[in-house]
Amino acid sequence: MDSSSSSAPVLDCAGRLLDTSRPIIMGVINTTPDSFADGGTLYLGGQLDMDLALRRAHEMVAQGAGVLDVGGESTRPGADEVTLDLEMQRVVPLVERISAELDVVISVDTSAPEVMAAAASAGAGLINDVRALSRPGALQAAAATSLPVCLMHMQGEPATMQAAPDYADVVGEVEAYLLQRVAACEAQGIPRERLLLDPGFGFGKSVAHNLRLLRELPRLAQHGLPLMVGLSRKSLIGKLLGREMTQRLPASLSLAVMAAERGASIIRTHDVAETADAVAMWVAMRETGEL
């Protein structure tokens, strides 16, 4: 199955261009001590080490990342919110340093309007909001940056989202919510050409919900907006296969390729080198005309 389109948009991310006609690898850089897959890996002596984070950024770009997603607030199931000051301290200086040293699109993973504005000024080229600009002031802040925005679906909030996720029709409800947020963005002056969609795998979804969304990803792709998909190391794998966090790479690669086949434009991953290779093989097959 190939849901890609030769007319897929090229996103202008603060002067750096993303051609979404072929899958793009997004490397995850969490500056948090408690993120589900890599929390604390950039900490030394209990403190965030900016030099270590910058080395991680250089490594991911060398491995094939076209986007780096910098986040300062954990959104794992059960996570609590962090203060605005702490999120700013974790995110903005690193965005500024990456922008100065690397020619790569920097995505800022935040729901806070103040962080969106500060990160844009520091060199971010994309806003990635798990709350789809629903916080007060977020629509206005995102519009003011003129950056592309990824709108994600989440049922509930991180602290409680996995308690008892429930849908009558998960695909239809996710689709309706995302289209409603697209309309809200357009009403605020953010054009469709600057919008991406993320179904939010693992964010208020059961295993069955996640599998249904992946199977029907082409339904979301048909709206003509680039899709971002994050399935890397997710608990879905642990629940289906009984794999611990360190054992989830093979299944993550399988899910990444399935997402690309079904129309995903950006594959968000903790394992850049391996994911880049897996997706590149699918792209090579597609370009031979065999898929």
pLDDT at residue 158, rounded to an integer: 73
Alpha-carbon distance 277 to 233, whole Å?
Answer: 17
* Low-confidence winner among 67-76, 142-151, 160-169 (lowest mean pLDDT): 160-169
Banded model confidence at residue 35, pLDDT cuts 50, 70, 90: low
* Ramachandran angles phi, psi of 70, nearest 5°: -100, 120
In the predicted structure, residue 34 carries a pLDDT above the cut 70: no
pLDDT at 291: 63
**Residue 118 is assigned to a structural domain of this protein:** yes
Residue 230, domain CATH: 3.20.20.20
**Which helix (DSSP H) or strand (DSSP E) does residue 12 occupy?**
strand 10-13
Q: Show the domain range for 55.
A: 10-287
Give the residue from 130, 125, 132 showing the smallest Cα distance to 147.
125
pLDDT at residue 39 is higher than 60: no
Give the pLDDT band (50/70/90) at residue 75: confident
Q: How many domains does the chain have?
A: 1
What average pLDDT does the structure give for the chain? 92
Structural tokens at position 207:
């295993």
* Residue 2: predicted pLDDT: 41
Which whole number is the average pLDDT over 110-137? 98
Domain contains 250: yes
Q: Write down the pLDDT at residue 6.
A: 38
Return the pLDDT at 82.
Answer: 87
Q: What is the pLDDT of residues 243-271, one digit of tens each?
A: 999 999 999 999 999 999 999 999 999 99
Lowest-confidence segment of 60-69, 148-157, 219-228 by average pLDDT: 148-157
Q: Which pLDDT belongs to residue 164?
A: 76
Q: What is the pLDDT of residues 145-160, one digit of tens each?
A: 999 999 999 997 776 6
Does some domain include residue 249? Answer: yes
Question: What integer is the mean pLDDT of 93-122?
Answer: 97
Q: What is the DSSP string of 128-189?
A: EETTTT-STTHHHHHHHHT--EEEE--SS-TTTTTSS---SSHHHHHHHHHHHHHHHHHHTT
Which residues are designated catalytic?
Answer: 234, 268
pTM value is 0.92
In a domain, 3, yes or no: no
Residue 2 forms part of a structural domain: no
The confidence band for 5, taking pLDDT boundaries of 50, 70 and 90, is very low
Proportion of the chain above pLDDT 90, given as a percent? 80
- Whether residue 4 is contained in a domain is answered as no
5 occurs within a structural domain: no
Question: Is residue 35 situated within a structural domain?
Answer: yes
Q: Specify the pLDDT at position 38.
A: 65
